[in-house]
Structure formats: structure tokens, C-alpha cells
Amino acid sequence: MEVAGVQDKVVVHPTVLEGTKKPTLDIDGFLLYYHKDIQSGAGKAYRCDNYRQGCRVRVHQSGQHYEQFGGDHHHVRPESKGSRKRVCSTEVTVAKRSMLLTTNAVLTETEATLGRETTATGMVSTESEKRTMRRDHQRLYSAIIMGDISKATAFTIPPALQVNKRDERLLLSDTRIGDGEGSKRLVIFGSPLALQILVKCRTWLMDGTFKSCPEIFTQIYTIHGVVIDRKSLPLIFAYLPAKNQLTYKTLLQTVKENLPLPQPNAPEEVFPQYIITDFEKAAINAIRDVSPEPKLGLFVSLETVDLSPSPVHATSINALQSADR
């Protein structure tokens, strides 16, 4: 902290922390929070984090000029709390600078900026920090890229989100269903490797979720492929505008058209032997429309479904996880 002044009034140069609920100043590790506006709204007043315990330190801000009043803090410097705020603020700054950084990269750059000791003191735990960072990252990304997505259907998907880490196409389709103003948007994601795995799976699992879906869509729909050890991998992700037969048919037709042949001389029909979904008439009819041979047994009890491992190599699965997550 640089200081120039006498008696009870000093000029200070605090660090303004980002990512906090209210404006916060860091002065040599002591935290001061925004209290009220002063000078008819032209300035701001801050008070010490320990004001309820009797600390009288205040800071008045006018533009870029800060003056501290109230003498010295009557308590020790809150190292852990101050470090925590500095870590959070630095993480937000790093994330804003490059929204495509992984959580590990953000932590590494934060540590390089603040030092290993400060970063370690300010973190509850590495895993907890990563979870918090992922939530904040997602919220920041939505706010910066999409804006108020709940009220706009004409948003543009940034080029960086249309490809995976290998720079391969991830956005499978971005179309509209219907004509004119009543048309609705359908967005489908699936990488080339995901399609290669999906076409080799004997069994598909299909279902949708509504809780985490953006308001402008009806549901997030996923298609999983059953692979090694009867485990399923999420391979296709779609934002659906409705739950009707036309929407499901468009989704399945798009996926079918983009599936590669499992072998060079394989027949054109590449649909799986079984498709498992909940009992939704629209989805069932859509599958029967797209698949030429529903007699194969698309909807049967789980006891009779062949969940034996599909001819998908573990190396393909590992490559998918590293490239698309």
C-alpha cells in the first residue's frame, strides 16, 4: 500500500477485487466493503470487514482517488479470508480473458499471478475450487456470449463452440422446424468420433431432461450408446424446441444422415438393433418413421435387450472423452 498523508487521513491505492457480491477493496490484506454513496452519488464509502467488532477504518472513493480514515485496524490481518478473495478475483479475471481455458489452466495462471503460498491459503481444496470455478465459468460464459438467452432465439453460436479440442466439427446441425415466424430452432451436437462410436453400438438409449434446459428450448435430449462392460456413453446432445413427432423425427433423421458406415461394404441401414426410451408415443412413432424395419424389436423389456459389449475399442472411448468434454 502506498501512503501519502498525515494524522487520521491517508491516501491509499487499494486493489479492487472482482467477482464479489459487492464492491470490495483489498488494502494490504485488509478487506473493506462498499457501504454507501457519498457526495450526492459522486463518491463511495467503504468500511472494514470487521466494523461490527468495532473497527472504525473507512475509505472514501472519488473517481480513482481513495482516502482512508479512522486510524489503524484494531485487529490482525485476516490472511485466509483476504487470500480467498484475492484468489476468487484473480480467477474471474483470468476466466474473462480467455473463456476457453480449462479449470486446471485457470488455477495454474492464478498461482503464477499470486504465488503458490497465497493461492494455497485462499483455496478450501483443489476439487472444491474446481467445482466452484466450473459453475462461475458457465455463468460468465452464458452472460458474455449469449446475453439474456431466455428472451432471444436468434443468438449466434460462437465458432469456438462449434468445434471440439481437436478442432473437429462439433455442431452437427442448427436448423429450424416449421415455416415463417412460427418456426422453432433445433440444435444438435455430435463429433465425428462420437458418430463413429454410435454407429457400432447395438443398443441406443434416448432420453431428455427439462430441469437444466434453457428457457427458449423445451428439453435437452441425449442419445447414448451402450459400449464396453454394458456402460453407456453420451454421444449426441440436442436442444429440442418441442416434444412432438416431427421434432424427434428431424433429430433422428439428422443423426442417421451423418452416421458413417461401420464397414466399407456395409449396407446403408446403420440404425442399431435396439433403441430404449421411455414410453413416449411421439418418440416411438418417429423411430418407426426413420427406421425401415421396426420389427427388429426397438421397444422390448430390458430383460430381452442385448446389452452385450459393442465392437467399440477402449482407445476410441478414451479419445472421445479427451477431445469432446
Are residues 162 and 169 in contact, defined by beta-carbon separation less than 8 angstroms?
yes
Lookup: cell for 219: 428439453
Q: For residue 245, give every residue at least 6 positions away whose Cβ sits within 8 Å of its Cβ, in sequence order, or none.
A: 282, 283, 285, 286, 289
Q: How many other β-carbons are positioned within 10 Å of the β-carbon of residue 68?
A: 25
Report if pTM > 0.85. Answer: no
Q: For residue 99, give every residue at least 6 positions away whose Cβ sits within 8 Å of its Cβ, in sequence order, or none.
A: 137, 140, 141, 144, 145, 160
Are residues 78 and 30 in contact, defined by beta-carbon separation less than 8 angstroms?
yes
Nearest one of 171, 89, 182, 103 to 135, comparing CA atoms: 103
* Helices 126-141 & 103-114 angle (0-180, nearest 10): 110
Q: For residue 274, give every residue at least 6 positions away whose Cβ sits within 8 Å of its Cβ, in sequence order, or none.
A: 202, 203, 204, 296, 297, 298, 300, 305, 306
pLDDT at residue 224 tops 90 = yes
Are residues 226 and 206 in contact, defined by beta-carbon separation less than 8 angstroms?
no
pLDDT one-digit tens code per residue, 268-309: 566 788 888 888 889 888 988 887 664 334 444 444 445 454
Q: How many other β-carbons are positioned within 10 Å of the β-carbon of residue 220?
A: 18
Confidence band of 127 (pLDDT split at 50, 70, 90) = low
Are residues 280 and 268 in contact, defined by beta-carbon separation less than 8 angstroms?
no
* Cα(182)–Cα(57) distance, integer angstroms: 60
pLDDT at residue 66 tops 90 = yes
* Helices 126-141 & 79-97 angle (0-180, nearest 10): 40
pLDDT one-digit tens code per residue, 158-200: 888 898 888 899 999 999 888 777 788 899 999 999 999 998 8
> What's the mean pLDDT when you consider all of the chain?
74
pLDDT of residue 249: 94
pLDDT of residue 165: 84
* Cα(180)–Cα(172) distance, integer angstroms: 23
pLDDT one-digit tens code per residue, 68-82: 988 888 776 665 454
pLDDT at residue 120 tops 50 = no
How many CA atoms does the CB half-sphere of 58 hold within 13 Å? 15
pLDDT of residue 262: 67
How many CA atoms does the CB half-sphere of 153 hold within 13 Å? 17
Show the 3-state SS of 253-303. HHHHHHCCCCCCCCCCCCCCCEEECCCCHHHHHHHHHHCCCHHHCCCCCHH
* Cα(29)–Cα(27) distance, integer angstroms: 5
* Cα(278)–Cα(297) distance, integer angstroms: 15
* Cα(180)–Cα(175) distance, integer angstroms: 13
* Cα(310)–Cα(196) distance, integer angstroms: 12
pLDDT of residue 220: 94
pLDDT of residue 202: 85
